[in-house]
Each structure stands twice: as C-alpha cells, then as structure tokens.
Structure 1
Amino acid sequence: MRDDERQPPATDGHEGAAERRAAPARPRVRLRGWGGIAAMAALCALAAIGALCLPGARAGAPSSGHDGVTAAPAPGASAAGYRSADGSCPYAYDRSASDKDDDAIVEEIRTRREHPGLPRGKLVVGVDQNSYRWGFRNPQRDGNNDIEGFDIDLAHAIAKDLLGDPDALVLRAIPTNRRVQAVADHDVDMVVRTMTITCRRLKDVSFSTPYFRTTQRIIVPRGSSVDGFNASLTGKRLCSADSSTAENVLTEGFKDKVELVSVPNQLDCLVRLQLGEVDALVTDGALGEGQLAQDPSLDMQGGPDENNPADRDSPAWEYYGIAMNQDSPQLVARVNKILEDFRADQWQATYTKWFGAGEKVEPPKADVKINLGTP
C-alpha cells in the first residue's frame, strides 16, 4: 500500500531559490505560509460557502461549458519575458528514451545508498495536494483523504513500471515554489505536479518529455470587466502562485500595470478571489478548469479557440513535464519510455476519468516543438 505524507514541508525564506534566482526583482505582496488553506478549511465548515469544498462526487465530470481543458491564452500573453521569440535555450533538454531495465536505478531506490534520507523501496514523488483533478485530497472518497488526480495516477504508473508495484510510492506534498529545490536537493526522486517545462527550470533540473499541454488563463468572477491579457488588467489586484509561470507572465508582462499578490499555492489564490481580496487570479488553464468545477460563479478569460488553426501553433502553449535531478540521466530516459507507453495505453482513459469524455483531447507527442523561453 502506498504511503502518503500528509504534511507539506515547512516554508521559509530560502524556499524555491532555484526557481526564483533568474527572476528580476519586482514589487509584490507576500502572503506567507498556508493561511489560505487554513481559511479554506474554516470556510468549508460553513454550508453557505460550499463552493470552497472539493466536490469529490464530481471528480469524473467535466465542468459545465469548460470541458476543453487545453484552451489557450490571448496571443499577447506570449510577449511576457519568459517566452523568447525563437524558443532558444542554452540548457540541455534530452528527450531520449530507454526501455532497458536499468538495475542501477531500481537498486538505488531499493537501497538508498546514495541518498539514505529517502525511504528504501519506495519511489518518492513530489505532488500537489490542492489542485482539483490533478493532485488533491478527497475526503468524500472512502473516507481515507488520500491524494488523487491525474498526476497521481501517472505517479502510480511510473512506480509500477520501475518497481513492479503501483503502490510502492511515497507522495510528498510540496508547494509550487519548492518544486525545483525539492528535486535539486534530492528530497524527492521526481516531481509530478503540473510543472511547465521552461528554460529557466532546465538550468537546475532535467525534464521528461511532455505529457500535457496547457496555457495561462485568467480566472475572474462572472461579470468582471477583465476579458484577457490586455488593458482590462490595468490597476487590478491579481493573484498567482510563487515561482509559477503565471507569476512570470504578470511580473514581466504587466509589472507596472497590476498589483501582484504572490502565494505558495494556486488554491490560495482561489480562496482570496472568493473572499474578494483580489480581482482575478492567473494560472494554467488545466488548473483553472478544476477551479471552475469547484466554483461555478467564476469564469475563465484570455484564450483563443483550440480548434482555430491559427492558434494551434501559438507560442503561448506550455507543456507539463516530470522534473528529475540532473545527475539522473538514466532515470530520465527510463521515465521517457514509461511516458511513451502511458500516452499509448493509459493517457486517454486517465484524462476521461478526471476531466470527462467531452471534447477529444490527445496527449502531446514526445517530440513536439516547445517554446522553452529565455534563461
């Protein structure tokens, strides 16, 4: 049976340094700790604010009117500094795959000779516990409050391939701004946590081939004057997760036009939006779909039509990958092979399980062109 570490690592002033070091200094409001999650727990106790509670019974259903999880943002959003015009990046991104059973990989996981701080015989995976449909605790399913979601199912598939047991797994909940550091410090074997492949992150970690395509979106209350990544954002108070690509879009594309509230996790932004503390939040469209499913009073803005041929090759597209340590090229190649099999045999069923059987969506190809952005 898999282990599930229920307490996220404590946050401190050094958190996420690897993800933040390339970012320019910018003014912002810092909201510390897990106060937003605590506020959410308190509000869930109030029947009048049921929208804040995770609706586990709807886990397999698409949100009304938003079953196209891969919708894109307005092309203007791609002007943000973390996206280069030509997609150049000086850091290596090796997409090679290997189906060779590498005994050294399994032996290290079983013995932990190199990294004795990790549990023997278990794959340790950094995940989210606050993103509905991706990685979240569902108190309504079996009463065990386990973490579940698309990323969690993928982590189980990797554990099964590597160790022969899908439950030979430790799920370690980490905040957004700890993802790179957790991998670099060998606190985890890998991070499977809606993590966009970017040039800046390739400086510090290795990525697998992509397993999901998404883009930045704006979540607002219905009737808001905000209608995209444009002048309608001017003067607004916007929330994003610290060290996220959403934060980069706002700080580098709109830093003199908006007030940014930065929090440890994107769910904290949802709580603040519901409480009226911010005007909008910016997050990946894939995560935004889960937020709309949690609260139907919200709307999503900033995206051309996925079915519009003119938008299909937009540089605004982002791709999720699995982050691993740069000293583990054999593990990266093995995971790339596992992803090949996952795309072919399990991806569609997993997608339907968590997002519904609406609009047909296919996984990205391993060799898809990715605009990695600037270092």
Structure 2
Amino acid sequence: MTTPTPHPPGSAGGTRTRSRRGPVVGLATVAALLLSACTGVTYGETQLPAPKVTSSTPAAPATPVTCTSPTQSYDPLPSLPASSDITDRTVRTILQRGHLVVGVSADTYLFGARDPFTSRIEGFDIDIARAVAASLLGDASKVQFRVITAADRIDVLKNREVDMVARNMTMTCSRWQEIAFSAEYYHSGQKLLVAKDPSGKVPSTTLEDLAGKKVCAPRGTSTLEKLRSVQGVEAVPAADHTGCLVLFQQGKADAITGDDTVLAGLAAQDPYTVVTSAPPMTDEPYGLGFHRDDVYLVRYVNRVLADLKADGRWKAIYNRWLADTLGPAPAPPVGVHGRAAR
C-alpha cells in the first residue's frame, strides 16, 4: 500500500500526484455512499417513526408577509418559562409527546451527518437542536431526527410533519411567505476549496484567481450559475458536493465552490484540501425553520439561541465541529428581532 503525500507546491488546484491518493478517494467515496443512504430515514433516541404534529391553530388563509429584512425574527421571550406555565398549544403538544421532532440533514458532514460506525447523526445543527430539546424538555436526548432533503424543508414544516427544521437553511423573504424563522444562528457564505499548500499557509484564492482552471459545483444550484458567469473559469458540474470532491481527487477539477459549511465537511474528509481565507462571495444567513403560525415556539427558541450566544455555548459548539477547518469561532451572529406577528 502506498502512503498519500501532500500536493506539490503550485497555484491553487495545480497539478497533483493522484496515483498516491487512493486511500483518500476511497474514504470520500465510501462516505458518500453511507451518507446518501440516509436520505428519507428517521433517526432518534427512540428510533420511532416521526409522528405528524397536530396543528396548534385552525388553518387560516395565507396572508402576505411584509419583509424588508430576511434575518428579522420575532422577539425572544424575556426568559425561559417553566413547562407548567406554558399554555401555547403547539408547545403543549411537544411537551405531552415527550420529544421534539426535528428535520435534519444526514449528508452534510460536520453540520448534520450520520456517523457510519454509531449510526448517530452528529454535527453543528444537531447540537443546536439538542440544546433546544434540553431547554424545552429538560433532556438533550429527547429529540427525534427526521432525515430530509433540502427540497423537503418547506413542505415538512407546512404539513406539520416536524416541529422544527435545522438543516443549514438560508433565510429569505420569499421563504418567510411560507414558513417562519428563528433569529440567525449561523452566517455562511460561498467560498472555495483548493489544494492545501505544504507550507501550511491558507491561501486567499478567489474565483477570479482561477482563470484557466476548472472549478466544480453541484448541478441545479445557484452556485453553479454564478460560477458560469465568471469569465475565464471552466465550470465543472457534479451531482453534489461529494461528487465534486471525487472529481477534485481525480484531477478533473482544480477547486470546488459552495457554502463554507459544506466545504468544511469536504476538507475534513480530505486532509490535502483547505477552505480559502478569501472573503465569502455571498451572504447566507441560516435560521431554524418553523411552521408559519408557531410564533410562540419561535420566540421560545430565540430565547434559547440568545442564551447560547451569550454564555459561550454557541462558540463551544462551533469549535467542536468547525474550528479545525474554518478556524476558531467568530462572534456569533447578532439576532435581529422585532418582526410583527402575523
């Protein structure tokens, strides 16, 4: 068996010795198969099928939502109330059921991914969801995870199949028309993954620096469309970001672009890659998703998030999952509140 060696020095994504990286390609490919096999599966502490949540309010005609700032959410509760003092019907349903039902990813490494050895779903989003369960139900294990795709996120909330979605979802005004969001809990942005410099220096490579190079992005994404608009860069499409990593390892792509959260997971799978230090090309504020009528639950969770940010737990969660690939925890995003209830 040969031993993988670091890429030789050169420009970002330059020529690399691929024949000696077989073990890394194999790991990424196996990980891709294991993670992709999770889609549509429900995992939880009790391993029960995710129940459909009973509506806490009568169905009402959809009304337009005024939105001038997609990151503006409802005011947090002044403090966390005792369970016995909560009268909101949605929260009472959760308390009586005994666990929180959360829609998550199982294939976003470091944010929400299934550990192939333990079958447990782990990551930044998962720890945030457990913090909500711990506050609401007194036990971080009282949460049931339902694995969903990115395309499922809105529908499972509108149909009340989950109580909350924690799946790296960008807050937008158009989405506020259909669902509600917590305050921003993570700020992401589109960045680049390139070959690691053997010196250990993190490159500040930008898309414009990659003229004449091949850059990969998943098909059917706004990321790929943006990539195609950059003059001199050859866009290389793949089915998903893990597919991009395989192409990168095979020498068919010189760099990969996507949200820094996704790229951090790829870098963790391939020790010869690094996320560049260049500023993000886009802003992607992540919010936890809720049914549009569950204003009280959003206000409760906003209190939990505010406390996590204030007492250092948010930074601890960040450092646990993301610091190795994205650097030490930044200041947590400041929650923007004051949205008027519908």
TM-score, normalised to structure 2, is 0.65
Q: What is the CA–CA distance in structure 1 between the aligned matches of 2:165 and 2:245, rounded to whole Å?
A: 23
Residues 132-178 of structure 1: CA distance to partner in whole angstroms, max 9, x if unpaired?
22112223xxx422111111111111112122221121111122232
In 2 relative to 1, CA 360–353 (structure 1 residues): closer, same or farther, beyond 3 Å?
Answer: closer
What is residue 373 of structure 1 aligned with on the other side? Answer: none
Residues 241 and 266, structure 1, Cα contact 8 Å, conserved in 2: no
What is residue 58 of structure 1 aligned with on the other side? Answer: none
Q: What is the CA–CA distance in structure 2 between the aligned matches of 1:272 and 1:327, rounded to whole Å?
A: 44
What is residue 53 of structure 2 aligned with on the other side? Answer: none
The letter of the residue matching 1:187 is E
Residues 102 and 330, structure 1, Cα contact 8 Å, conserved in 2: no
What is residue 107 of structure 2 aligned with on the other side? Answer: 130
Superposition deviation, residue 328 in structure 1: 1.2
What is residue 94 of structure 2 aligned with on the other side? Answer: 109
What is residue 165 of structure 1 aligned with on the other side? Answer: 139
- Aligned pair count reads 264
What is residue 175 of structure 1 aligned with on the other side? Answer: 149
Secondary structure of 1:362's counterpart equals coil
What is residue 325 of structure 1 aligned with on the other side? Answer: 291
What is residue 283 of structure 1 aligned with on the other side? Answer: 258
Q: What is the CA–CA distance in structure 1 between the aligned matches of 2:87 and 2:300, rounded to whole Å?
A: 8
- From 187, 200, 204, the equivalent of 1:213 is 187
What is residue 14 of structure 1 aligned with on the other side? Answer: none
Structure with larger Rg: 2
Residues 76-123 of structure 1: CA distance to partner in whole angstroms, max 9, x if unpaired?
xxxxxxxxxxxx848794331124534423322256xxxxxxxx4321
Percent identity reads: 31
Which ranges of structure 1 fall in alignment gaps of 5 or more residues? 1-45, 55-87, 112-119, 305-313, 369-375
Q: What is the CA–CA distance in structure 2 between the aligned matches of 1:272 and 1:360, rounded to whole Å?
A: 30
> Larger RCO: Structure 1 or Structure 2 (Cα < 8 Å, ≥ 6 residues apart)?
1
User: Residues 218-257 of structure 1 correspond to what in structure 2 (within 5 A)?
Assistant: 218-221=192-195, 227-230=205-208, 232=210, 236=214, 238-240=216-218, 242=220, 247-251=221-225, 254=228
Q: What is the CA–CA distance in structure 1 between the aligned matches of 2:275 and 2:219, rounded to whole Å?
A: 17
Superposition deviation, residue 255 in structure 1: 5.0
TM-score, normalised to structure 1, is 0.60
Residues 176 and 241, structure 1, Cα contact 8 Å, conserved in 2: no
Which ranges of structure 2 fall in alignment gaps of 5 or more residues? 1-21, 32-66, 198-203, 338-342
Residues 71 and 336, structure 2, Cα contact 8 Å, conserved in 1: no
In 2 relative to 1, CA 108–333 (structure 1 residues): closer, same or farther, beyond 3 Å?
Answer: same
Secondary structure of 1:105's counterpart equals helix
In 2 relative to 1, CA 90–190 (structure 1 residues): closer, same or farther, beyond 3 Å?
Answer: same
Q: What is the CA–CA distance in structure 2 between the aligned matches of 1:157 and 1:48, rounded to whole Å?
A: 34
RMSD: 3.5
In 2 relative to 1, CA 102–228 (structure 1 residues): closer, same or farther, beyond 3 Å?
Answer: farther
User: Residues 190-209 of structure 1 correspond to what in structure 2 (within 5 A)?
Assistant: 190-209=164-183
